[in-house]
A = this chain, B = another copy of it.
Amino acid sequence: MFANELFAGVEMGGTKCVCILGTGPNDVRAVERLPTRAYDETLCGIEGILERWRSQYGKIRALGIASFGPLDLRSQSQTYGFVTSTAKAGWRNSDVAGRLERRFGIPVGFDTDVNGAALAEGRWGAAVGLSDFAYVTVGTGIGVGTVVGGKTVFGMNHTELGHIRVARRAGDSFAGICAFHGDCVEGLASGPAIEARGGMPASKLPMEHPVWSCVAHDLGQLLHTMVLTTAPQRIFLGGGVLNAQTHLFERVQKELTRSLNHYVEAEELETGIAQYIVPPGLGTMSGPLGALALAVDADLGNARRAFTPALIVSQ
């Protein structure tokens, strides 16, 4: 392994960013976290870490950014590489990929945090050998990375399954907290939604609390839609809420089986359900490794959307 084969990744989350340096899960040279604050402060922090790593470890071949969204990933767009219509204060329409590409002058892979995590599962984790799979994260928000035929789905723009609306559980009248859609899945079952439902942080709610029945139902509905829209061969559930509330796995599995009602005849959905809906193989590292996977793809020229080179300010 040569020093000039190192890749860097930045997982930009709603509350924190994780920077990672290495070539894969068995060769992580450095990891640093910083809180996600205002746009410029956060980007300066990331740039500082990457500069320091470059001094300390040598050349970085490529950078991957796996970011909260929505993002502009249309290669022809004037605002390619931007975070766009986010509700996150101070981040609306902010350039991320272009700024870092100009600063470091290396290939930059840029995709949603969840698409990155899904790609990492496919490259190094529990989706090796699969062509169609999905990664769901339930935390500050709800996001889904979807791989179809070996590539992340990208049409008019990237996908945003956290904002689909679902059939409501009988008797559940919670209005939802999404600023755009009220009771979309993110509005019903993300960490902040669970806190609004239960009156205390999700981490404090006991597993017997009735809120979890609603959350399991709503996540089961999300998975019902996923099975019928892209038919993943496996679905990974990660993120802060799922990592802490492992009882949700069995409940979500049951909700999905009940809701599909044997319409789709597949062993995965019946006796195989416990192997179908599983935690990510890369565990809590699937997010940062997702950013690293995007760097590897960018270096290989496999970045799905080529970034039009801009003025290089620093090299």
Contact = CB atoms under 8 A, between A and B. Distances in A.
Interface of A: 70, 72, 84-85, 131-133, 146, 148-149, 151, 153-161, 163-168, 180-181, 183, 221, 224-233, 259-266, 268
A85 to B, nearest CB: 5
Given A84-B265, A132-B156, 18 more contacts: A85-B262, A85-B263, A148-B149, A149-B149, A153-B231, A154-B231, A155-B231, A155-B232, A155-B233, A156-B233, A160-B264, A161-B229, A163-B228, A165-B224, A167-B167, A181-B263, A225-B225, A229-B230
10 contacts: A72-B265, A132-B156, A148-B153, A148-B230, A157-B264, A160-B228, A160-B263, A167-B167, A180-B260, A181-B261
A163 B261 CA distance: 11
Contact of A155 (B85, B131, B151): B131
Most chain-B CB neighbours within 10 Å: which of A131, A154, A156, A181?
A156
A157 B161 CA distance: 20
A263 B163 contact: yes
A227 B158 CA distance: 9
A83 to B, nearest CB: 11
A55 to B, nearest CB: 38
